[in-house]
Structure 1
Amino acid sequence: MRLLRRSGTGDFSLTPFSDDAIPPYAILSHTWGADTEEVTFDDLTNGTGKNKAGYEKIQFCREQAALDDLEYFWIDTCCINKADKPELSQAIKSMFRWYRNATRCYVYLSDVSTTSIPPNRKKNNEDYNPLLWESDFRKSRWFTRGWTLQELLAPCSVTFYSRERKRLGDKSSLGQHIHEITGIPTSALQGSLLSQFTVNERLSWREHRQTKLKEDMAYSLQGIFGVYVAPIYGEGAATAFKRLMGEIDKLENCIQHLRLTDPRDDKKRIEGTKGGLLDDSYRWILENSEFRQWRNDPQSRLLWIKGDPGKGKTMLLCGIINELSKSIRQTHQLSYFFCQATDSRINNATAVVRGLLYLLISQQPHLVSHIQKYDHAGKALFEDANAWVVLSEIFAHILQDLSLNSTYLAVDALDECVTDLPKVLDFIVLMSSISSRVKWIVSSRNEAYIEQKLQLNDSGIRLSLELKENAAQVSHAVHAYIDHCLSELPEIAHDQLLQDSVRDKMQQKANGTFLWVSLVIQELKKVPEGMMGWEARQILEEVPTDLKDVYRRMIEQITRLRSQYPELCRQVLSTVLATYRPLHLQELHVLSGLPTKVQNVNQATTAIVKMCGSFLTIREANVYIIHQSARDFLSKEAKHELVPYGIGNVHQSIFSRSLQVMSTTLRRDIYSLGALGFSAKNIKPPDLDPLAASRYSCIYWVNHLCDWKSNSSADHSITLQDIRAIDNFIREKYLYWLEALSLCKSISEGVVSMERLEAVIQVIHQSLNLIVKDARRFIMYHKLAIENSPLQTYASALVFSPKRSLIRDLFKKEEPKWITMKPAIGDAWGACLSTLEGHSETVRSVAFSHDSTRLASASDDCTVKIWDASSGACLSTLEGHSETVRSVAFSHDSTRLASASDDCTVKIWDASSGACLSTLEGHSGEVTSVAFSHDSTRLASASGDCTVKIWDASSGACLSTLEGHSGEVRSVAFSHDSTRLASASGDCTVKIWDASSGACLSTLEGHSQWVTSVAFSHDSTRLASASGDCTVKIWDASSGACLSTLEGHSQWVTSVAFSHDSTRLASASGDCTVKIWDASSGACLSTLEGHSQWVTSVAFSHDSTRLASASYDCTVKIWDASSGACLSTLDVGSALENISFDATGLYLYTTRGTISINATGLVSTPIAIDPQTPEYKGLGLSSDRTWITHDSKKLVWLPSEYRPMCLAAALGKTIGIGVGTGRVSIFEFQPNIG
């Protein structure tokens, strides 16, 4: 970063700084005047620019910085060397961060004056009044510029000044005005995380804003979204915005996949289950000497709070997090994580890092750039066996990133990190020693192992809650907690004598333990109304002071319950002990085996939970163990009462009940989504969730099977009955289970489950092992499809599974009946999983016959293949060419096929038998193009040998060799009456030939560079040619006279097309424009601007009212052919070489499918239109080539090896796809698709 340094003499100089040494600085926000009036980097380095108008702003910023005692300041006009492209790119990337990190931001409003007086005010009343400038303030140009949006939101301190340098106010005092002007929520103006606002909400803030360079409207939003797109000026606003949205989508997906849990939600849940956070229970620590040292001393980077169970460590950390959140500046970040041993999602080292990363990246999205492997690995990066290695490395890089704000990291309950705790401890110690801008605060029980690993040195501080001075503070906090709890018990709160008695007794016995107080209060809450006076004293006399004795007393109370309730409580407590996460009431009811004949499952289960002493608590219908110490007691001291036959027996029961509930509830399309392509990320469980009771079972049933096996003796191993249950479930419910896993966002867990199931079953039962092995391959191969769209379980997954797949065979009834022809698939897993094998290299071209019955493909493997478009069978492999086959073309009567090759030959094939009818030899250079005449009697070929040949399409005889060109012939075209042929050449000429005799009728000279394209008018009277000399010429097709030279393009012209009424001509160019010309006069009627890259093809609708253009910017634009207005911009996802309208003008034919023009929302006036997703009529491909679509609705997900790497063709009910490995896949669908 380069800053301006002010001197005492009033001068200033440029001073560069590395990112780790930037001093405090002020920054200017303003609107640019004319470029010639702004002081530039060159002006400052050359000592010029003092006479420019912009110099006044520099002086203002310097003087204001001096008043704020800041030595350095920054201004965009002169601190960036814009001639240095890498520096400019880096500056754009860093701009948001530079404004955010500024100590002061001064907004200079050159169009707001504090001296202007409304006309109705008298001269003698000129006192300063905000009303004098408020109107100007609201209308200020500053609020309409694109770049000023981030300059408003990024800095902590934003102060506004008039052109007289008078302070108008700051972002806080003027917040309501700014909100009304911009529509930006006041919370965003006050510094709330921008990531808390939706993408669409943030995009709406750009409305009514403009930038001088159209691409900057996208680039100026980078910081708002925390992404980066390299500036490419000249690409156009649409392309820049498309790239921006692509980066935003990647960021959103990454954060979504990174999220295992949201620690903010965990914090709310913990506070809720513990009765809320009481200020007096934690505020003592804010004045604690160890805490203050950690907070204020830059060298103290690690604080460890340790204490016995129930001492309030977790709530203490919740309070500290709240205080840090309120007091830290916008330039600081806070991330935290709560370990919980009872929840397998958040009790391991990887979960700790994921949780901390999730919150950090949510606050500073640009840090996601460190997760570069994500783009390739996807969600697996966060879940596979190497997750800790990769994530800890990413986290370490982030913590050392110079762009990372000063950061506080908090981890609660390290002792509850069940898996890989040593890794977490080592990581914390290492990072606290090397990252100076990061402070850690952690808590745990008094465990020697943790103390040994932390090895606190000069950078670490230990805060023990048992130390005398701290214990006294904790005791005072507990007393405050007692007072708070008693105030919420009406019978005690309204009886002062009883309140004093109960308080005194609780303070005597609490021993500084919050948990003890909480357990006693829970028991007091159960006292019947009117009995509190006697019962409260009795309870306090009986309840022990030691936590374990309190728990023992609770167990004894359970055993004294009447009837069947002790056993029901035992079932509930043992189930809670054995499960891997807190259970929903409906899940607990099923897995505990509670009575089913109840009117309300939730109410019945809640009643049993409340009978389980105070071991359990319910929050939002989920059941939690009250504290880790309670879990420890139940699993150790009380295990004989709860699990008399061992924990393995409990796992067996949960496994068995899981299979039962899944078999009962799972079915196809359980959420009634309907559409096969319904995206998983758009799915929310319905209010009456049919998976509520089985959600846990879907994810964990195999885990319980494995834990049953590992915790059971040989006498209690898996029985034949259990084998049958598993076998029946897979045979009858497997696909429904996969759908449910996707709905639960747990497909990855399903993959692991099948791997574990295979490992368990393979040594027990051979036949079951075969189906389990196939089921594992099924989920592994189709994981991505099902994960993204649950109902692709029944489409893509079945269609693209091997023929001998047991799962495919078992569930063939679920396959879509409307796919009448599917691509041929290998017989077994592990074999080549390709369709229509044959081509061994890139497929260059695919084309349907005109009767739609066959498909031809040309390949770099020197072959042509003809496929039956109905059956998908390869009818013929046409071998004979010795080099790349570049092009194929069917005759218009569909009886013959021509192929052009780099081996200098053209071959004509019988389209039915595949027999080679003729090898047309004669060219001495590669054949670049072939074209049949419209009456199918002749074939023309163009070649690099500078000739055109006309062949008899029946006999293959060379009718004529058309010589005369001195350069490569690039294109040939027959006139619509088939009497003439035109050829375009690199020799800068066009020749018109008699298609019968081969005589050269005219040589059309005039172009000064190569001719790229030729086209006859539909009445065959005129010919148009496009050239690299940036011109189009219109010629008289009979005389060869040049009727017009159409000049105006600034780069080569790539394509020309006549309107069907032959009155207009359209040209496409490398200058990113399309021009419409009067075909008679040659006048330019319209210049159609909007594409950001080469325009490759143009086509008129048959009624000549509209024009379509295709471009390398991956869009198709529809234009009004009369007015030149852009009616629609279609984002097709890739460049299209050829487009054409159908006869009705309602559809546009492309190699990606048939686009419905009416469905794109055409407009009748020229406006700036953001790219739309085109509406395809009939079959097509999605823009990212991952889906076969019908009427733009997603039908079938394509596995990666089945996606088109080159070309695809869709016609009628059939779609053919050529892939880079040399295969062609053909699908045929019934009319009633979906």
Structure 2
Amino acid sequence: MGEILKDVQVIVCDKLKETATRDQVKELGEAIKEMKEMPSSLQEETGSVTQNHDGSGNNNAGHCCLKDLRTTGPREDKKRIEERKGGLQKDSYRWILEHSDYQQWRDDKQRPLLWISGDPGKGKTMLVCGIINEMSREKDGDALLSYFFCQATDSRLNNATARYDQGAKNPFEGVNAWVALSMLFEDILEDTKSQSSTYQIVDALDECDTDLPQLLNLITQGASRFPYVKWVVSSRNKSDIEARLRLDQTQMRLSLELNETFVSRAIDMFIEFRVSRLPLINDDTALQEIVREQIYAKATGTFLWVALVLAELELVESWDVLEVLNEMPLGLVPLYHRMIQQIDQLQRKDPEFCRRVLSTMTLVYRPLLLVELAALSGLPERISKSPDLVARVVRQCGSFLTIRGDIVFFIHQSAKDYLSEETYDKFFPVGSEAYHYTIFSLKAPGISIDQVEPPNPDPLAAVRYSCLYWVDHLLDCQAREGTIKDLKDLKDGGSIYNFLRQHFLYWLEALSLLKSVSEGIVIIRKLENLQFDKSPNLHDFIHDARRFTVSNRSIIEQAPLQVYCSALVFAPEMSIVRGTFEKCIPPWVLRKPRVETQWSAMPQILEGHTSKVTSVALSPDGKQIVSGSGDYTVRLWDTATGQPVLPAFEGHTSKVTSVAFSPDDKQIVSGSGDYYVQGVLIVTAGISPQ
């Protein structure tokens, strides 16, 4: 690993510190560490290569489709959530199964939707887990049950999108992903009509940060179009969710606030169970009874408060239990305040280390591996090089965080909300951003990405997050008081400019290894949209970098090292990227081909049709292209990335002669030599042929 890291390009902006000052924010250059010079590829200790010598390759398209769909496993998510919350006890959710509203929803075919609503920490997710368990046990042999847990602290679980098309490297990602998966999902619901029953469960709608209106529309339209499908959804009490669910006589709402008596009984049972398992007082029944009574008196109907208090009691001696319990304030926010005070009272530099960890976790878009957290939070090397020591720092952060395996999570969304809102000025006096990059190389330019097996340990592990999210954190900085305008590091000669000039190709190589080149194009476009006052060189470089990436996306996705070979060799003579990195062209390229002087007016080539393209149309909003071909298919493309938005539309029996968009971008129509005109309606809830 040490030899690999000598040749790994790393750029780090140490901006996730509690003590950040305005001068430090302005001085990005001081925080960004220069990368060491390195050859374009490693000659040893690199990823191993596997080949299928019979030439058959992997032609199991169905298996690949399912693999790409699975960004997270709901069963594993459910198990993790239950373990993190202290286990699921049937006595704590039995009441909802016996509730008249739940039973009416379950038995009445005219009531497809049940909405469970309640304030933070009231136990909504555990109720949903209980319902899932009950349905799993009771459902008929051919009944279907699917579920999903939204989590705002995890970008893999806080959005409504995924996508399928056979042309994408990871076909369930992209800016038009929602439309594709909606179509696929509705086709699945249509196919379940013959089942005895079908259940769809979505927990924590309020934690869906991206495309929530579209998800709510999908649910309400699904409940209307497919009345044989039963829905259970849960969320906090939010007016926008209530409005979009459009509750009527066919839909039901079960409010936890209106069922306070049932919730209180469930909490009492939860307390009974957990207190009986406190290891240091399990032989003292009198003390157990006192603890139960005091916790119940202070719980105010909040499961999370109980769980956090019991977690702290597990760490104290039996003679301190009552004293600690007496110190516990009422309510979640005061309890979080107390946890911060305890962190501030730690010895020596431990409070600073905890603040670095908490500030990092507050800013990132998903849970982090311990190795990622070590790199991003800027912990001292003596700590960051040891996952065990990093885990010890995490455990000192009160009950804000929890570790499962080697992944760090927030204990609850309300904990992240508290750090983001109640203590923001304490943790981020002027805001924070994080920039980390790394790249490792391969053995030969022709090696396909599908033949690459990451080495163990993976040199990209610590900076995988930063490669994909560094510009988002830059934009977060801009959102706070316009600080980006003041950063000299975003001027010509600044740190961002120097980083791109020195390490842009290495970053592209890393994106290829992460199978995220299309995401890289979106990142570059975000940079291009920033206002660079009096920074023409930086602006021109970013513009050229976009052209370079878009033009070479396909080859870089297939073979990472081609970023140094064909991508550079065939770039225009006046390309800024080519001129900057010409030294990276392999020495065995003795004679360079003659190429165009400037980038052509054609920014990218869209590949996928197997015959001559006969008709093309651009959507009125400029975001999509539709094409028809002699292969009898119609394809829809994303203009930003050049990726197919959907699988090819099939149905014509002769070549497609004409395609067009409707003025509102919602429909495409195609004509063919088979004398038929086909129309496709594009809506947020899916795509359906007409």
Task: Give the partner amino acid of 1:829.
Answer: W
Q: CA deviation at 1:391?
A: 3.6
> Could you tell me how far apart the structure 2 residues matched to 1:792 and 1:782 are?
9
CA 264–738 in structure 1, closer or farther in 2 if over 3 Å, else same: farther
Task: Give the partner amino acid of 2:469.
Answer: Y
Conserved? CA contact 1:307–1:446, under 8 Å: yes
Match of 2:227 in 1: 436
Task: Give the partner amino acid of 2:507.
Answer: W
Once the two structures are superposed, residues 1150-1199 of structure 1 have per-residue CA deviations (whole angstroms, 9 ceiling, x without a partner) of xxxxxxxxxxxxxxxxxxxxxxxxxxxxxxxxxxxxxxxxxxxxxxxxx9
> Could you tell me how far apart the structure 1 residues matched to 2:586 and 2:535 are?
33
> Could you tell me how far apart the structure 2 residues matched to 1:761 and 1:816 are?
36
Q: Alignment partner for residue 322 of structure 1, among 133, 150, 157?
A: 133
Task: Give the partner amino acid of 1:544.
Answer: P
CA 823–639 in structure 1, closer or farther in 2 if over 3 Å, else same: same
Once the two structures are superposed, residues 132-153 of structure 1 have per-residue CA deviations (whole angstroms, 9 ceiling, x without a partner) of xxxxxxxxxxxxxxxxxxxxxx
Match of 1:558 in 2: 343
Once the two structures are superposed, residues 505-539 of structure 1 have per-residue CA deviations (whole angstroms, 9 ceiling, x without a partner) of 22222233221111112211332xxx32x211011
Q: Does residue 515 in structure 1 map to residue 304 in structure 2?
A: yes
Match of 2:290 in 1: 501
Q: Within 5 Å, give how 1:224-623 maps onto structure 2.
A: 249-348=60-159, 350-351=160-161, 354=162, 374-375=165-166, 379=170, 382-384=173-175, 386-401=176-191, 405=195, 406-468=197-259, 471-527=260-316, 531-532=317-318, 534-598=319-383, 600-623=385-408
Task: Give the partner amino acid of 1:427.
Answer: L
Match of 2:423 in 1: 638
Match of 2:459 in 1: 690
Q: CA deviation at 1:824?
A: 4.5
Q: Alignment partner for residue 469 of structure 2, among 686, 695, 700?
A: 700
> Could you tell me how far apart the structure 2 residues matched to 1:565 and 1:667 are?
33
Q: Does residue 752 in structure 1 map to residue 522 in structure 2?
A: yes
> Could you tell me how far apart the structure 2 residues matched to 1:256 and 1:715 are?
40
Q: Within 5 Å, give how 1:811-1210 maps onto structure 2.
A: 811-818=581-588, 824-830=594-600
Q: CA deviation at 1:392?
A: 3.1
Task: Give the partner amino acid of 1:266.
Answer: D
Q: CA deviation at 1:831?
A: 5.5
Match of 2:580 in 1: 810
Residue 650 of structure 1 aligns to a residue whose secondary structure is coil
> Could you tell me how far apart the structure 2 residues matched to 1:751 and 1:571 are?
31
> Could you tell me how far apart the structure 1 residues matched to 2:143 and 2:592 are?
57
Conserved? CA contact 1:699–1:749, under 8 Å: yes
Match of 2:441 in 1: 668
> Could you tell me how far apart the structure 1 residues matched to 2:458 and 2:273 are?
38
Conserved? CA contact 1:825–1:833, under 8 Å: no
CA 536–686 in structure 1, closer or farther in 2 if over 3 Å, else same: farther
> Could you tell me how far apart the structure 2 residues matched to 1:678 and 1:479 are?
61
CA 574–297 in structure 1, closer or farther in 2 if over 3 Å, else same: same
Q: Within 5 Å, give how 1:1-400 maps onto structure 2.
A: 249-348=60-159, 350-351=160-161, 354=162, 374-375=165-166, 379=170, 382-384=173-175, 386-400=176-190
CA 630–770 in structure 1, closer or farther in 2 if over 3 Å, else same: same
> Could you tell me how far apart the structure 1 residues matched to 2:344 and 2:123 are?
30
> Could you tell me how far apart the structure 2 residues matched to 1:804 and 1:331 are?
64
TM-score by structure 2 length? 0.73
> Could you tell me how far apart the structure 1 residues matched to 2:451 and 2:282 are?
49
> Could you tell me how far apart the structure 1 residues matched to 2:204 and 2:278 are?
31
Conserved? CA contact 1:432–1:459, under 8 Å: no
> Could you tell me how far apart the structure 2 residues matched to 1:816 and 1:460 are?
65
Task: Give the partner amino acid of 2:529.
Answer: A
TM-score by structure 1 length? 0.42
Identity %: 47
Task: Give the partner amino acid of 1:442.
Answer: V
Structure with the larger helix share:
2
Once the two structures are superposed, residues 800-854 of structure 1 have per-residue CA deviations (whole angstroms, 9 ceiling, x without a partner) of 43343333343344444455566654333226799xxxxxx99xxxxxxxxxxxx
CA 325–815 in structure 1, closer or farther in 2 if over 3 Å, else same: farther
Q: CA deviation at 1:554?
A: 1.4
Task: Give the partner amino acid of 2:245.
Answer: L
Match of 1:146 in 2: none
Conserved? CA contact 1:432–1:438, under 8 Å: yes
> Could you tell me how far apart the structure 2 residues matched to 1:427 and 1:413 are?
16
CA 606–381 in structure 1, closer or farther in 2 if over 3 Å, else same: closer
Conserved? CA contact 1:826–1:832, under 8 Å: no
Aligned-residue RMSD, C-alpha: 3.2
Task: Give the partner amino acid of 1:666.
Answer: I
> Could you tell me how far apart the structure 1 residues matched to 2:108 and 2:534 are?
62
Match of 1:771 in 2: 541
Once the two structures are superposed, residues 442-473 of structure 1 have per-residue CA deviations (whole angstroms, 9 ceiling, x without a partner) of 001122332232232232121122234xx333
> Could you tell me how far apart the structure 1 residues matched to 2:544 and 2:583 are?
18
Q: CA deviation at 1:502?
A: 1.5
CA 338–680 in structure 1, closer or farther in 2 if over 3 Å, else same: farther
Residue 704 of structure 1 aligns to a residue whose secondary structure is helix
> Could you tell me how far apart the structure 1 residues matched to 2:509 and 2:371 are?
20
Structure with the larger strand share:
1
> Could you tell me how far apart the structure 1 residues matched to 2:239 and 2:83 are?
31
Residue 780 of structure 1 aligns to a residue whose secondary structure is helix
Q: Within 5 Å, give how 1:640-659 maps onto structure 2.
A: 640-643=425-428, 645-646=429-430, 649-651=431-433, 654-655=434-435, 658=436
> Could you tell me how far apart the structure 1 residues matched to 2:194 and 2:267 are?
38
Task: Give the partner amino acid of 1:568.
Answer: F
> Could you tell me how far apart the structure 2 residues matched to 1:303 and 1:599 are?
47
**Using CA pairs below 8 Å that are at least 6 residues apart, which structure has the higher relative contact order?**
2
> Could you tell me how far apart the structure 2 residues matched to 1:254 and 1:798 are?
33
> Could you tell me how far apart the structure 1 residues matched to 2:270 and 2:444 are?
54
> Could you tell me how far apart the structure 1 residues matched to 2:95 and 2:140 are?
23
CA 305–535 in structure 1, closer or farther in 2 if over 3 Å, else same: same
Residue 598 of structure 1 aligns to a residue whose secondary structure is helix
Match of 1:180 in 2: none
Residue 202 of structure 2 aligns to a residue whose secondary structure is strand
Q: Give the gaps of 5 or more residues in structure 2.
A: 1-55, 605-610, 613-642, 645-690
> Could you tell me how far apart the structure 2 residues matched to 1:409 and 1:395 are?
11
CA 770–549 in structure 1, closer or farther in 2 if over 3 Å, else same: same
CA 537–444 in structure 1, closer or farther in 2 if over 3 Å, else same: same
> Could you tell me how far apart the structure 2 residues matched to 1:680 and 1:518 are?
45
Conserved? CA contact 2:547–2:603, under 8 Å: no
> Could you tell me how far apart the structure 1 residues matched to 2:445 and 2:105 are?
56
Between Structure 1 and Structure 2, how many residues are aligned?
552
Q: Alignment partner for residue 487 of structure 2, among 718, 724, 749?
A: 718
Q: Does residue 738 in structure 1 map to residue 508 in structure 2?
A: yes
CA 680–300 in structure 1, closer or farther in 2 if over 3 Å, else same: farther
Q: CA deviation at 1:633?
A: 1.9
Residue 334 of structure 1 aligns to a residue whose secondary structure is strand
Conserved? CA contact 1:709–1:718, under 8 Å: no
